[in-house]
């Protein structure tokens, strides 16, 4: 199975078919207390970054929806200070990348973006919401919310395409009471950055 086949399996049709519950953008607000626990109990600070990953559709209506999302985010910049960028990666997936030192603003903004896609009938195009944490300048950890599975899972990359399983299971253990965590580790799909210390959306 190639990389793209794996991505489609984890985030695509089979993931949705096998899901134990429907995705709910309100789940994103579970990260509100998780940010506190991550820093106070585990030493992971808010990286000030979060991202929404989606699969684009080549249609005018979908393009209008993306433009609406951008307009909403631009309007919110003055109120929240949350900046954003949009781009497509080398695998053909699109990203809305948010930056803000206030985690509550990040959560509110990413929820608005996801909710807009859903209201316009494109909820099925949403793949994941990714929340970044730092333990040092280049050691990142992530909580990833899979819209197809309706659940979170931890991802802690280590070095070049290796993952720190011990750290991931620690995150699962500590945050299990706060987040709806994916039970099937088959769906803990790694979103590798292009370089060690980088972010998946770069």
Band of residue 56 on the pLDDT scale cut at 50, 70, 90:
confident
CA distance 106 to 49: 8
In Å, how far are 129, 180, 185 from 42, measured between CA atoms? 21, 18, 21
Which neighbouring-strand residues pair with 154? 143
The residue ranking higher by pLDDT, 88 or 15, is 88
pLDDT of 147 > 80? The answer is yes
pLDDT in tens, 11-30: 554 444 454 555 678 889 99
Mean pLDDT computed over 64-74: 92
CA distance 114 to 119: 9
Residues of the chain with pLDDT > 90, as a percent, come to 60
Residue 117: CB atoms within 10 Å: 23
CA distance 174 to 143: 13
pLDDT in tens, 99-120: 999 999 999 999 999 999 998 9
Domains delineated in the chain: 3-187 (3.30.70.1130)
Residue pair 141/135 in contact (Cβ under 8 Å)? The answer is: yes
pLDDT confidence of residue 178? 93
């Amino acid at each position: 199975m190639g990389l793209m086949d794996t991505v489609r399996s984890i985030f695509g049709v089979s993931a949705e078919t096998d899901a134990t519950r429907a995705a709910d953008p309100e789940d994103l607000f579970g990260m509100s207390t998780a940010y506190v626990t991550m820093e106070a109990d585990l030493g992971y600070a808010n990286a000030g970054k979060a991202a929404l990953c989606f699969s684009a559709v080549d249609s005018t209506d979908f393009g209008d929806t993306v433009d609406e999302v951008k307009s909403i985010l631009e309007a919110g910049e003055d109120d929240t200070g949350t900046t954003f960028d949009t781009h497509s990666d080398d695998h053909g997936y699109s990203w809305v990348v948010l930056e803000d030192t206030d985690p509550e603003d990040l959560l509110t903004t990413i929820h608005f973006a996801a909710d807009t896609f859903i209201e316009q009938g494109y909820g099925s195009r949403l793949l994941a919401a990714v929340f970044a944490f730092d333990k040092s300048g280049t050691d990142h950890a992530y909580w990833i919310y899979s819209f197809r599975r309706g659940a979170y899972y931890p991802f802690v990359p280590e070095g070049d395409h290796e993952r720190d399983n011990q750290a991931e299971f620690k995150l699962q253990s500590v945050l299990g009471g706060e987040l709806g965590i994916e039970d099937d580790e088959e769906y803990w799909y790694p979103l590798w950055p292009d370089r060690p210390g980088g972010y998946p959306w770069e």
